[in-house]
Amino acid sequence: MRNNGDFLFTSESVSEGHPDKVADRISDTVLDAYLEADPESRVACETLCTTNRVILAGEVRGPASVTTELLIDRAREAIRDIGYDQEGFSWKTADITSYLHAQSAHIAVGVDSAGEKDEGAGDQGIMFGFATRETKNLMPAPLYYAQTILEKVRDYRKSGDPRGAGLLPDAKSQVTLRYVDGKPVGVTSVVISTQHEADLTQARIREQLRGIVTDVLPAGWTVPEDEFYVNPTGIFVIGGPDGDAGLTGRKIIVDTYGGAAPHGGGAFSGKDPTKVDRSAAYAARYLAKNVVASGLADRCTIQLSYAIGVSRPLSVYVDLDGTGKDIDEGKLGRMLNEIMDLSPRGIRKHLRLNRPIYVPTSSYGHFGRVPDPAKDNFTWENTDLVDVLRGAFNR
């Protein structure tokens, strides 16, 4: 996204009941089960969800106490927590099958540390992190509002609030904002599609969602009535994995920055933190957020690159998009590489990633979330490098 000029920009989000997000949730449930039993477990779990059926596949290495029966029970509980107890997809009756197998020895030899050899990256690839001053959590505004709308819908649905009455787990949102001189100044359209009970009228759904959108958007940001689209195709009763198959990793733009910044080559869910697809993307967001929070720039994109079996990043690239406050981007990149150990092990230790903290990341984005000190989660959202960065540039 440009940092100046006048334009419209759109981002979408999906709820935890979207079939792809059901798959992400189950994959991260499997990951957390292994990390709970052994923080050094290796997991790469993929999930397929369809009509009353769930299939787990991928490779794992962990203690024998994590049995197939345990994983199936945990997957069933995840489906229950999302809210699916429907004829076509129910936590009670879904057929859940696991085809997880042992991790490839050829991968393990490149990733594991031994003797003087440091732990290598779990795969090659490029990872991006991004931060912008558009919102209080330093995330792009279109994605922030699209996600917040769906989080409100979820909260009302699960709490029994009248504003969520009759709404079911599967939902999508899309928000288009108008930018003037590169800054969001208003909303031009909102799209929401939500699964619902058969006896709920579209007029009633529209009324419920209109109130939620009004509460979420800033004061004065009114969506034109003819640009407020609710269930544009009409009735939406059959949803979730019964309406469309779900797969792990198909909502990577929802998971990151809503298209406002680049995304690397890999998905996150179901992968343990030795996989730099996940951990290095968290590290890149952490560094970018601290750069912006420190006042060194209004926008920051960071790219990291890795080779499988190699511990250090091959490159660290910083782009401040013309918003840097007299900052040399090359110097900043070198400094970030010194401030934080960007090897897979260094990232995991710094951000404390070898813990069962991943189920909450599986919906409503991995970034822009508020860390819970009691749970020590979303550590990549902390801004504890601000003083170091300010001091390094005499700010």
| Domain annotation for the chain: domains and CATH numbers | 7-13+141-238 (3.30.300.10), 19-111 (3.30.300.10), 125-133+252-392 (3.30.300.10)
What would the mean pLDDT of 347-361 be, rounded to a whole number? 97
Looking at 9, 18, 152, 242, which residue is catalytic? 18
Whether residue 391 is predicted with pLDDT greater than 70 in this model: the reply is: yes
Looking at 36, 59, 81, 341, which residue is catalytic? 59
Q: φ and ψ at 251, to 5 degrees? A: -125, 50
Looking at 251, 263, 289, 350, which residue is catalytic? 251
CA end-to-end span of the chain: 28
pTM summary value: 0.94
Looking at 128, 236, 367, 378, which residue is catalytic? 236
**Residue 115: per-residue pLDDT:** 46
Taking only the tens place, the pLDDT of each residue in 164-204 is 999 999 999 999 999 999 999 999 999 999 999 999 999 99
244 catalytic, yes or no? yes
Looking at 81, 244, 329, 341, which residue is catalytic? 244
**Residue 311: per-residue pLDDT:** 87
- Residue 172: which residues within 8 A CB-CB, separation 6 or more? 12, 13, 14, 15, 18, 150, 191, 192, 193, 194
Percentage above 70 pLDDT, the chain: 96
Looking at 61, 250, 285, 289, which residue is catalytic? 250
Taking only the tens place, the pLDDT of each residue in 74-86 is 999 999 999 999 9
151 catalytic, yes or no? no
Looking at 20, 24, 32, 272, which residue is catalytic? 20
CA-wise closest residue to 291 among 314, 313, 323, 256: 323
152 catalytic, yes or no? no
289 catalytic, yes or no? no
**Residue 104: per-residue pLDDT:** 61
375 catalytic, yes or no? no
CA-wise closest residue to 86 among 236, 269, 249: 236
Contact 84, 240 (CB under 8 A): yes
What would the mean pLDDT of 351-359 be, rounded to a whole number? 98
pLDDT band, residue 116 (cuts 50/70/90) = very low
349 catalytic, yes or no? no
117 catalytic, yes or no? no
Whether residue 107 is predicted with pLDDT greater than 80 in this model: the reply is: no
Helix, strand, coil percentages, rounded to 5, for the chain: 35, 25, 40
Instruction: Copy the structure tokens of residue 42.
Output: 């290796």
Q: Which residue has the tokens 């822009």?
A: 368
**Residue 95: per-residue pLDDT:** 98
Whether residue 14 is predicted with pLDDT greater than 80 in this model: the reply is: yes
Looking at 74, 157, 271, 366, which residue is catalytic? 271
- Give burial (CB, 10 Å; 0-12/13-18/19+) of 353: buried
183 catalytic, yes or no? no
Whether residue 114 is predicted with pLDDT greater than 90 in this model: the reply is: no
**Residue 113: per-residue pLDDT:** 54
pLDDT band, residue 251 (cuts 50/70/90) = very high
236 catalytic, yes or no? yes
CA-wise closest residue to 161 among 211, 115, 124: 211
Looking at 9, 12, 16, 21, which residue is catalytic? 21
Taking only the tens place, the pLDDT of each residue in 282-299 is 999 999 999 999 999 999
pLDDT band, residue 394 (cuts 50/70/90) = confident
> What is the H or E stretch that residue 192 is in?
strand 183-196
155 catalytic, yes or no? no
**Residue 118: per-residue pLDDT:** 65
18 catalytic, yes or no? yes
Taking only the tens place, the pLDDT of each residue in 303-322 is 999 998 888 999 999 999 99
- Give burial (CB, 10 Å; 0-12/13-18/19+) of 19: buried
Contact 216, 14 (CB under 8 A): no
What would the mean pLDDT of 372-387 be, rounded to a whole number? 95
21 catalytic, yes or no? yes
Looking at 157, 172, 278, 299, which residue is catalytic? 172
Instruction: Copy the structure tokens of residue 190.
Output: 């909102």
> Dihedral (C-alpha) 384, 358, 242, 72: value to the nearest 10 degrees?
-170
Taking only the tens place, the pLDDT of each residue in 223-238 is 999 999 999 999 999 9
**Residue 309: per-residue pLDDT:** 84
**Residue 101: per-residue pLDDT:** 95
Looking at 277, 319, 321, 381, which residue is catalytic? 277
Instruction: Copy the structure tokens of residue 90.
Output: 């129910």
Whether residue 260 is predicted with pLDDT greater than 90 in this model: the reply is: yes
59 catalytic, yes or no? yes
Whether residue 263 is predicted with pLDDT greater than 70 in this model: the reply is: yes
334 catalytic, yes or no? no
Q: Work out the mean pLDDT of the chain and round it to a whole number.
A: 94
